[in-house]
Structure 1
Amino acid sequence: MAFDKDTIIASLKEASITDLSDLVKAIEDEFGVSAAAPVAAAGAAGGDAAGAKDSFDVEMTESGDAKVKAIKAVREITGLGLKDAKGLVDNVPSVIKEGVSEDEANDIKEKLEAVGAVVTLK
């Protein structure tokens, strides 16, 4: 039996959606495969990879009105001296801490937001 892909493609172009759906089901039954499985597996794997993040950077985007409190909070969080902490607060946006766990990042965010700063996690 000769296999002519051009003839098959031409036939598929003329077929209705219902006919094509029936054809897919027949091929799945005949060969014991599923047309949907590879697509679903790829989508699930991509979703898991995107959702899992190990480390976060805490960035202060606005220091707020209480800069002195923000400086104190930054010193407490980072262990920096007064001059360095003031530099971070005065020159926002600035990364306060890099590569921290999600829990630590959220704790830092809460401390900074408590003194009026605006913080994002990246």
Structure 2
Amino acid sequence: MALDNEAIISQLKEASILELNDLVKAIEEEFGVSAAAPVAAAAAGAGDAAAEKDSYTVELTEAGQEKVKVIKAVREITGLGLKDAKGLVDAAPSAIKEDITEDEANKIKAQLEEVGATITLK
């Protein structure tokens, strides 16, 4: 039985990440193998479905126990005044910074988590 490689590749390119994940699980179960390393390569080669995100939003989900420290950190990150920074923290979930790089988003996330905040990157 000959496989139609082009048709299979075309279908993989059009599949969502969730569909690819389900496919990998089904193959692993059917053949008793593990595709741990190839999964990342397959997802990366899946075309537009695995395209990297180029802008991020840092969202404060919860201020946590150290609200004053979170407000100070938000002021430092955003350059807002005390009243505006407090308003952002009180309004959680709220966007702290939008349309930034992944590195900058991760840096801000770490800075806010260090003072007890819960952060989501979008």
Interval of TM-score (by shorter of Structure 1 and Structure 2): 0.5 to 0.7
Q: CA deviation at 1:45?
A: 6.9
Q: CA deviation at 1:70?
A: 0.2
Unaligned stretches of 5+ residues in structure 2:
16-45
Please list the CA deviations of residues 53-95 of structure 1 after superposition, one character each: whole Å capped at 9, or x if unmatched.
0000000100011111000000111111111100011110000
Q: 1:87 aligns to what?
A: 87
Q: With structure 1 as the length reference, what TM-score do the two structures score?
A: 0.67
Q: CA deviation at 1:101?
A: 0.2
Q: 2:12 aligns to what?
A: 43
Q: CA deviation at 1:35?
A: 1.6
Matched, 1:52 2:52: yes
In structure 1, C-alpha distance between the alignment counterparts of 2:14 and 2:52, rounded to whole Å: 11
In structure 2, C-alpha distance between the alignment counterparts of 1:121 and 1:74, rounded to whole Å: 15
Amino acid at match of 2:111: K
Please list the CA deviations of residues 6-44 of structure 1 after superposition, one character each: whole Å capped at 9, or x if unmatched.
xxxxxxxxxxxxxxx4xxx3xxxxxxxx62223314524
- Among the aligned pairs, what percent are the same residue? 57
In structure 2, C-alpha distance between the alignment counterparts of 1:101 and 1:42, rounded to whole Å: 31
Q: 1:65 aligns to what?
A: 65
Q: 2:26 aligns to what?
A: none
Question: Rg bigger for which structure?
Answer: 1
Aligned residues: 91
Q: 2:106 aligns to what?
A: 106
Q: Secondary structure at the match of 2:4?
A: coil
Q: 1:119 aligns to what?
A: 119
Structure 1: which 4+ aligned runs deviate by more than 6 Å?
none
